[in-house]
Amino acid sequence: MKIVSLEHPSKLLFVEALDYKNPYDFTQIHKHDYFEIIFVEKGGGSQLIDDQRFTLEDLSVFIIQPGQVHLLNREVAEGKIIQFGKDIFAHMFPLEFHHLLFKQPRVQISEADFFHLYSLIEHMGTVIKQEEASGLAIFKSYSYLQIILIHLIEKHSVTQTKNSKLAARFLELLSLHIKDKRNVVDYANMLYVSVDTLNCHCKLNFGKTPLSLINEEVVKETKRLMLLGTHSIVEIAYELNFNSPSNFSSFIKKNTGKTPKQLNVDIKNII
């Protein structure tokens, strides 16, 4: 399946109404290669993010990460969507994309905070929709986004450490190479560090070993492919570079407690 990209690659930031006319078929499960933050002012309907379904409640906020499977039922709900690619972080030091890699898509904020951030989104949208916005105006829109992101990061209680860059780079490589690399040594080599160093940084930042994170990402990608419904179980096994369907089945059973067929049934019941 083709991954959805930002409508105009030369632009790094978009603000749209929740019911805007998408340039792609939003009624089908899909993936984005950019971040999407959804502010639901008036609730109604639901959305699927990977293997979790969420009710769109009043004053709720969700962050969809690049690569996650997504389906939004937006016929009733009202609100705003912020869309931006990873490249925008070059203009928002010291924030980096990994600061938004939350474990859960929903961010809990107060009513006052919601409307404060919502007003910033409206200002940001006004700026970036000017036909001939100046360079300074564009950077002003990035500043609005930076304030919004910092607030959400603080509310999500993300713990940062002095070693986060290496661990974050590992996560980025993991998302790019999960279909063809599952050995810790491969990632250590790409990062020009020893396996022990990578292991130390991952434990410090995530409380997990690199191998555990790799296995979790393989399971996530398996679920995403199952949700998309474009691959058979055998095709998923080979898509994820397993030597055989039986090895894939053993891996899934070990890491989920279920066979691929059982997992697939569970996934289909979510849709």
* Contact (CB, 8 A) for 13 and 88: yes
What domains can you pick out in the chain, each with its CATH number? 13-155 (2.60.120.280), 164-270 (1.10.10.60)
Whole-number pLDDT of residue 8: 65
How far, in Å, CA of 265 to CA of 269, rounded?
Answer: 6
Q: Give the C-alpha distances (Å, rounded to integers) separating 83 from 36, 94, 177.
A: 5, 20, 24
In tens digits, the chain (271 residues) has pLDDT values of 456 666 665 688 999 998 877 666 667 788 888 899 999 999 888 899 988 899 999 999 999 988 888 888 877 889 999 999 888 988 888 888 878 878 789 999 999 999 999 999 999 999 888 877 777 888 889 999 999 999 998 887 544 444 467 888 898 889 889 998 999 999 999 999 999 999 998 888 888 899 999 999 999 999 989 888 888 999 999 999 999 999 999 999 999 999 999 998 888 777 6
User: Residue 2 burial (CB < 10 Å; 0-12/13-18/19+)?
Assistant: exposed
Whole-number pLDDT of residue 12: 86
- At 15, list the tokens: 């603000």
Give the pTM: 0.78
